[in-house]
Amino acid sequence: MSDPSALPPPPPFEPPAGYAGYENNYAAGVRNLRSVGSLAKWVCGLSVLAGLTQLIGTALSYTVRDEARAFQDGTISGDEFRDAFNSVAAATTLGLLPFLAAIVTTLIWSARIAGNHRALGRNTRWSPGLAAGGWFLPPVLFVIPMLFTHEAWKASDPSVPPGDQRWTQRAANPMVFVWWVLYGIVPLAFIPWTWSRMTSLNPNEEELAEQILDDLGSQMAASGVQVLAGIAWAVVVYQITAQHRLLTGEARR
pLDDT tens digits along 98-145: 999 999 999 999 999 999 999 999 999 999 999 999 999 887 789 999
What pLDDT shows up at residue 185?
A: 94
What pLDDT shows up at residue 9?
A: 56
N-to-C CA span, the chain: 63
Q: With 70 as the cut, is the pLDDT of residue 169 above it?
A: yes
What pLDDT shows up at residue 92?
A: 82
What pLDDT shows up at residue 24?
A: 42
Instruction: Give the max Cα distance, the chain.
Output: 125
pLDDT band at 240 (very low <50, low <70, confident <90, very high): very high
pLDDT band at 89 (very low <50, low <70, confident <90, very high): confident
| 151-167 mean pLDDT | 96
pLDDT band at 203 (very low <50, low <70, confident <90, very high): confident
Instruction: Return the number of other C-beta atoms located less than 10 Å from residue 114's C-beta.
Output: 25
What pLDDT shows up at residue 194?
A: 76
Query: What is the average pLDDT score of the chain?
Result: 86
Say how far apart CA 24 and CA 247 lie, in whole Å. 18
Residues 6+ positions from 249 with CB-CB distance below 8 Å: 30, 33
Task: Report yes or no: 61 and 216 within 8 Å, Cβ to Cβ.
Answer: yes
pLDDT over 90 for what percent of the chain? Answer: 53
User: 48-57, 87-96, 120-129, 168-177: which range is least confident on average?
Assistant: 87-96
Which of 138, 128, 63, 56 shows the shortest CA–CA distance to 97?
A: 56
| 211-215 mean pLDDT | 83
Q: What letter represents residue 84's amino acid? A: A
| 79-106 mean pLDDT | 90
More confidently predicted of 52 and 1: 52
pLDDT tens digits along 6-50: 555 555 544 445 434 444 445 445 668 999 999 999 999 999 999
pTM higher than 0.95: no
